[in-house]
């Protein structure tokens, strides 16, 4: 099951990369300088994938999110979000350790222990109420601390904005996810159902949390693709601590 998931992600990464030869090469020094600043050599392909993702969002994901909001009360949606967040703690813990952030790793392990037990498998975020805020940590971030640059901008089918380093990091985080080990307990049917359920629940939860901000960003953009590229990069830079964002993020539209 894990191999299938990583193979799928690898295919999604290779799809736009395989078309890099189709990208137009800037000729003038001014055009080369602008292209270097944007660092999006796959822009024609990225735009196609971005448009397909946006079409699927309008056609399917957003309507399903609205139905989810209508059918499931805020309280229950928060409980689902807490469970998904708690199941991500082991991945954060591993990345905290690989980044040498031992204090954050300790906080993350305590959070997972407390929320899994007293929080009833993560249904309730008891740890935050006890002064242990959620930490951040992903393998793309880990690679960054090891000195690996992000590389060109990349739009992944379904997953959206990324870059070469963070796409690899996403695959590594998927491989470390506890859901994969839980799925291995059952047969193939159990694995497939759990994979679909995890993907659907995580996607709906993320879309629900960003519903208003994403819509405002889309409606207020002359070039939605370029705006999303800028927002993603500024948000990611802020996460990595490379510099403070001067561009709008989703929170600014809510």
Q: What angle do CA 131, 135, 139 make, to 5 degrees?
A: 165
pLDDT band at 141 (very low <50, low <70, confident <90, very high): very high
Residue 92 confidence (pLDDT): 96
pLDDT digits (tens, 9 = 90+) for 80-134: 999 999 999 999 999 999 999 999 999 999 999 999 999 999 999 999 999 999 9
pLDDT band at 39 (very low <50, low <70, confident <90, very high): confident
Residue 18 confidence (pLDDT): 52
Is pTM beyond 0.85? Reply is no
What are the domain boundaries of the chain?
2-13+48-253
Question: Is the pLDDT at 252 greater than 50, yes or no?
Answer: no
> What is the average pLDDT value for the chain, to the nearest integer?
83
Farthest-apart Cα atoms in the chain, separation: 63
Residue 251 confidence (pLDDT): 43
pLDDT digits (tens, 9 = 90+) for 176-209: 888 766 666 656 666 667 767 778 889 899 999 9
Distance CA 156, CA 46 (A): 8
pLDDT digits (tens, 9 = 90+) for 80-94: 999 999 999 999 999
Buried b (16+ CB within 10 A) or exposed e, 160-180: bbbbbbbbbbbbbbbebbebb
């Amino acid at each position: 099951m894990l191999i299938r998931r990583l193979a799928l992600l690898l295919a999604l990464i290779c799809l736009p990369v395989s078309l890099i030869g189709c990208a137009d090469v800037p000729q003038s020094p001014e055009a080369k300088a602008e292209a270097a600043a944007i660092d999006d050599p796959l822009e024609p392909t990225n735009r196609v994938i971005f448009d397909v993702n946006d079409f699927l969002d309008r056609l399917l994901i957003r309507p399903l999110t609205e139905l989810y909001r209508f059918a499931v009360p805020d309280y229950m949606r928060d409980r689902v979000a807490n469970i998904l967040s708690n199941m991500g703690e082991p991945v954060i813990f591993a990345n905290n350790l690989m980044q040498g952030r031992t204090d954050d790793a300790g906080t993350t392990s305590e959070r997972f222990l407390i929320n899994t037990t007293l929080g009833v498998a993560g249904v309730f975020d008891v740890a935050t109420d006890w002064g242990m805020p959620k930490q951040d940590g992903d393998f793309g971030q880990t690679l960054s601390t090891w000195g690996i640059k992000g590389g060109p901008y990349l739009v992944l089918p379904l997953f959206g904005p990324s870059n070469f380093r963070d796409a690899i990091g996403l695959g590594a985080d998927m491989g470390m996810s506890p859901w994969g080990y839980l799925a291995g307990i059952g047969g193939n049917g159990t694995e497939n159902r759990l994979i679909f359920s995890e993907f659907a629940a995580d996607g709906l939860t993320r879309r629900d949390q960003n519903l208003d901000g994403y819509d405002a960003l889309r409606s207020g953009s002359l070039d939605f693709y370029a705006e999303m590229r800028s927002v993603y990069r500024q948000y990611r830079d802020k996460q990595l601590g490379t510099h403070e964002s001067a561009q709008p993020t989703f929170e600014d539209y809510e």
